[in-house]
Amino acid sequence: MRKGLDPMKRGNGIAILMAVGLCATACSGADNTGAGSSSAPSAVAGSTAGAAGAPTSASNGGSTAADTGSNSAAGPTGSGSGTTATSSATAATHKQGGEVTIANVAGQTWSCQFNPFNPSVYQQSIGFVYEPLVYVNLLKDQAETPMLASSYTWSKDKKSIVFDIRQGVKWSDGQPFTAKDVAFTFNLMKRFPGTDLYSLWSGAGLQSAEAAGDQVTLTFAGPATTYFFNFANQVAIVPEHIFSTGAAAEHPDTWADPQPVGTGPFMVSPCSANNIQYVANPNYWQPGKPYIQKVQYPAYLDNGPANLDLATGKAQWGSQFIPSIKAFYLAKSPDNHSWSPPVSNVALYPNLDPSHAATSKLAVRQAMAMAIDRSQVALIGEGGQQPAANQSGIVLPTFEKYYDAGAVAAAGFDKPNPAKATELLASAGYSPSNPLNLSVITVTGYTDWDASLAVIKQNLAPIGINLTVEDLAQQTYNSRLYTGDFDLAYYGDVGGPTPFYELRQVLYSKNSAPIGKSASTNFERYLNPEVDKLFDSFPAADEAGQVEIIKKIGAAMIKDVPVIPITESVDWFQYNTKDIEGWPTEQDPYAQPAAYNVPDTGQVLLHLYSKSAQ
C-alpha cells in the first residue's frame, strides 16, 4: 500500500493553484505521467450556510468563512485564514446499493487493527470509520468541506480557533458524539505524545483544548493558521467512551482497536487476514449516505494479482503502479480509466544516527546523491509515469517559485556525476576495491520500487557501494522504518499546499525519536536546530518571507543531504465505471483519489454510487 500518508499531507498558508500546476494526465487512452506535488488548506469568506459534502470557498478577509458549495482558492495566509465555515448535511441524490472492491497492494495480510493514531494501520480506518473536523482538498485550491465541525471562528490574532461541533451525530455504536469527544482527542495527544503525529503540542505551539457546550477552543502560543490542515483535516476524532477505558486508555498509541467505533460512513464487519469488509453505518449523520453499501478490501501481496483484478474489472478502485498501463489496463475496457495527480517525493532515507558510521557521513550521502541517475530511475523504475526529483526536495513545476535551480547546480546535483561521486566516497574511505556494503529496506510487492532500486543499485556499484535490497512485509517495514532499524530506506512521504509540509515531516527534529523508539516522521533522524528555527518561523512570515524560508530549507537539503529525493511521486489511481460512478477526475478533483489517502477516502466513498442500484 502506498504510504502517501504519512503524517503530513498538511496544510498551510500560501494558496497554490494546484489545478494549474498539476501535470498529471487523465488517461483513458494515453499513458499516465505526473510531475509534481499536492496542495491544501483554505480560508473561507462569507456567512452563508452551505452543505456538508460541498467544498467551501476561500479568502483572506472578513470575519467569517462559510461553505457556499463553491470552489475557489485560498489566499496567502492559507487554510482557516477566514474565521468561519458553516455547513449542514446535503440531501442524498442517489439511491443506496452496490459494492466496491479496492485493489491496493499491502505487501502482507491484514492485521485487523484500526487505531487512528497508529500510522502502520490508520489508512484502513481514517475516512472509512473515523472523520476529521474539516476536510481540506489538496487538489482543489484548498477547498474545505465541514465535517464534524459545522463551523469555526478564528480570533483576530489567529492564536485561537473555536469550532462549533456538529449536532445530531452519533458514534457507530449509537452513543452521542459531543464536543467533549473532540477536546478529549486533542488532550489525549498531549498526555500520550506518541499519538501527536503532527507535533501539535510539541512543535506547533498548541496550549490547550477545551470544550464548552457545543464548542471546542484550541489555543496556540502563536499564529496557527499554518497548522489548520494538521489539526482540522488530519486529526481523526475518537470516542471518549472507548479511548478512556481499558487497554485503549493505557496505550492509545499502540492499542489494536480491532472493532473501531467512529462517526464515519462505514463500519468494519468483518475483518480477516485476507479481506476487510466495510458495511454502511446505519447511524451515519448524512441522511441517505453512503450510497455504496459494502466495500471489499482484499489483502494483495503483490502488484501482479491486484493489477489483474483491476484489468478484468473484478476490482474497481486501484491505487498502485501498473506497468505498461496503456496496454495492460486501459485498452482492456472502455470502462477502465486512470488519473494520477502528482503529490510529493519518493526518496532514499540514509540513517543519520552516529551508530551508523557510513550513512551518517556527509561524504557518503553526497556520493550517493551524485551517483544516482534520477531520470533513469524515473524512466525504467516507474515506466516514465513519475518524473525525476531534485536534491532540494522541491516538487516541480508545482512549487517552482520555491526552487533554487542555481543552488542545486552549484552543488553539483543538477545531473549525475559518477567521477565526483567516486572522489567523495574515496574521501570517506571507500572505493571499488574497498567497497561499502549497505542494505536498503523496501516493501514486498512494490514492483516499481523494486525496479527503481535495481537502477539505483547499478548506479552505486561503479563508485564502490554494494547495495542489498531487503523486501519486507509492510508491518515489518514500518516497524524498522519508524524505529530506525536500517542503513537506507526507500520511502515516500506526503505533501501539502506548499513544500513546507513535506519538508517539515522529513526534517523537523520534533518529529523524530532516538534509535529504537518510533518516530512519527523524520525517520532518518536529522537534527539541525537552525532548520528547526526556520520551520518555527514560517507561520508568522508573509508570503515573500515564506518563500525565502523554504529556499533556505532547500539549501539545507542540498548542504546536508539528509535524504535523497529520487522521483516525484504521483497519487496512483485507476477506476472502473461499468457500474460505479462518482469518481474524482482531473475535471472534478474533489479529493485525492488513491485509496491510501486519508481522510480523502471518506470523501470518495461518499460520492460513489452504483448505476445498477438507481
Asked whether residue 323 is domain-assigned, the answer is no
Q: Which residues make Cβ contacts (< 8 Å) with residue 223, sequence separation at least 6?
A: 157, 158, 159, 539, 540
Q: Which residues make Cβ contacts (< 8 Å) with residue 474, sequence separation at least 6?
A: 1, 106, 107, 108, 120, 443, 444
Same domain? 603 vs 547: no
Same domain? 598 vs 520: no
Global pTM reads 0.76
Neighbours of 375 (CB within 10 A): 14
**Residue-wise DSSP of 402-446:** G--HHHHHHTT-SS--HHHHHHHHHHTT-BTTBPEEEEEEEETT-
Helix (H) or strand (E) holding 554: helix 543-560
Label residues 304-326 b or e (16+ Cβ within 10 Å = b): ebbbebbbeeebbbbbbbbbebe
Amino acid 342: pLDDT? 76
Distance CA 495, CA 592 (A): 12
**8 A C-beta contact, residue 229 and residue 501:** yes
The neighbouring-strand residues paired with 438 are: 467
Q: Which residues of the chain have pLDDT under 70?
A: 1-90, 141
CATH of the domain at 180: 3.90.76.10
Please tell me the total count of domains within the chain: 2
Same domain? 546 vs 600: no
Amino acid 89: pLDDT? 56
Amino acid 74: pLDDT? 33
Q: Is 51 helix (H, G, I), strand (E, B) or coil?
A: strand
What is the domain extent for residue 100?
Answer: 18-261+571-613
CATH of the domain at 532: 3.10.105.10
Asked whether residue 316 is domain-assigned, the answer is no
- Retrieve residue 429's grid coordinates: 574511505
Domain boundary among 555, 570, 585: 570
Same domain? 433 vs 560: yes
Same domain? 395 vs 416: yes
Amino acid 167: pLDDT? 97
Half-sphere exposure in the Cβ direction for 517 (13 Å, CA): 12
Note the maximum CA span of the chain. 71
Amino acid 36: pLDDT? 29
Same domain? 184 vs 95: yes
Same domain? 485 vs 601: no
**8 A C-beta contact, residue 367 and residue 421:** yes
Asked whether residue 498 is domain-assigned, the answer is yes
